Amino acid sequence: MLDDVIRYLVCPYCGAYTSCDGGSLRCTAGHVFDVARQGYVSLLPAGVRGDNGDTAAMVQARADFLAAGHYAGIVADLAHAAAEVAATRDAEGCVIDVGAGTGYYLAAVVDRLPDRVGLALDVSKFALRRAARAHERIGAVACDVWRQLPVTDSAAVVVLNIFAPRNGAELRRVLSSAGRLLVVTPSRGHLGELVQPLSLLTIDERKDERLAEKLTPYFTLVDRCEHRSTLRLSHRDVTAVVAMGPSAWHADPTILADRIGHLPDPMPTTVAVTLSTFRPTGP
Ligand SMILES: C[S@@+](CC[C@H](N)C(=O)[O-])C[C@H]1O[C@@H](n2cnc3c(N)ncnc32)[C@H](O)[C@@H]1O
Ligand SMILES: [Zn+2]
């Protein structure tokens, strides 16, 4: 694992700094964490199960869908916004993606920032295996966003949070006071044409409002822009986009396949997401 990334990591037991020791990370108090063959390290405390993240099938579907370029417009907007933050904020630090999945977005962002490294945090080992390989300047770490992140205070100039769970206090703690939090959330009409025919879970219409409310004690919204486009999805693409999302936990695959078979091919499908930029609240 990259030394440049390790300097931002702390021990989940005692909070001490870590360093590389052969194929392991070791904190200054002697706690040891093995770096997996696939290149990520788990900083989940013993006994904490990392099985509430995306499954192997969900991660495969996400990787396939993203590789087809359907969200290229979103990633371009995000990378542009991150590059602007890094250029204008006088702050040291890495880029942290909380709930990074396959590392698709983080890889695009660090690629735009040649002097920064990226830290992909997720609880799914299937996602982390991919994130660890997504870019040469990314390190991937297993942790639970609902606990204290195993990361130093003010480590990041940019924190990313894309379709992923948010713990406002920890997002704030790991962000430099000059840095920015970039959040991507689905907005009204996202994948709307698929909802009724496939009985998908609907998106909370007040999601953007709730996002700002939830982050309010820690962050102030400084910019919000909407990305809206229409994709023409093959049945294979539709299968992947359903399998990578929250409906994957609920849908019966046979019934779903039958319903997808009745859709037009290609299927015009709206992508509607909001990119929100937050600054830390306070002076
Ligand atoms: C909808 S996916 C989004 C992944 C990625 N940001 C993307 O857009 O491609 C949500 C991600 O959050 C992760 N996740 C869910 N619960 C988590 C938790 N408690 N701690 C850390 N990661 C979690 C999942 O494993 C999954 O990779
Ligand atoms: Zn320790």
Task: For residue 25, give every residue at least 6 positions away whose Cβ sits within 8 Å of its Cβ, in sequence order, or none.
Answer: 1, 6, 9, 18, 19, 32, 33, 35, 41, 43
C-alpha 278/C-alpha 95 separation (Å) is: 15
Rounded to two decimals, the pTM is: 0.96
Q: Is residue 197 part of a domain?
A: yes
The answer to whether residue 14 is domain-embedded is no
Token pair for residue 94?
A: 């890495």
**pLDDT over 90 (residue 251):** no
List all residues 6 or more positions away from 49 whose beta carbon is below 8 Å from its beta carbon.
Answer: none
Which of 43, 70, 146, 163, when mutated, tests ligand 1's pocket best, judged by the most ligand atoms within 8 Å of its CB?
Answer: 163
Task: Return the amino acid letter for 169.
Answer: A
Q: Has residue 203 been placed in a domain? A: yes
What CATH number is associated with residue 44?
3.40.50.150
Q: Which atom of ligand 1 is nearest the CA belonging to 245? A: 1
Q: How many domains does the chain have?
A: 1
The answer to whether residue 207 scores a pLDDT higher than 80 is no
Instruction: Give domain status of residue 134, yes or no.
Output: yes
109: nearest Cα among 70, 131, 135, 133: 135
Residues with CB under 5 A from ligand 2 (ion): 11, 13-14, 16, 27, 29, 31
Domain that holds residue 256: 39-280
Nearest in space to 106 (alpha carbons), one of 141, 80, 75, 65:
75
Q: What are 162-194's pLDDT values in tens digits? A: 999 999 999 999 999 999 999 999 999 999 999
Cα(127)–Cα(106) distance, rounded to whole angstroms? 13
Once rounded to an integer, what is the mean pLDDT over residues 101-106? 98
Task: Please name the helix (run of DSSP H) or strand (run of DSSP E) that holds residue 127, with its range, or none.
Answer: helix 125-131
Contact residues of ligand 1, CB 6 A cut-off: 52-54, 62, 99-102, 104, 122-124, 127, 144-146, 162-165
Residue 283 C-alpha to ligand 1 middle, in angstroms?
A: 31
pLDDT band with cut points at 50, 70 and 90 for residue 210: confident
Counting ligands in written order, the one closest to the CA of 145 is: 1
Question: Over the range 29-45, which residues count as b (16 or more CB within 10 Å of their CB) and which as e?
Answer: eebebebbeebbbbbbe
Let me know if residue 6 belongs to a domain: no
Q: Which residues pair with 225 in a beta bridge?
A: 275
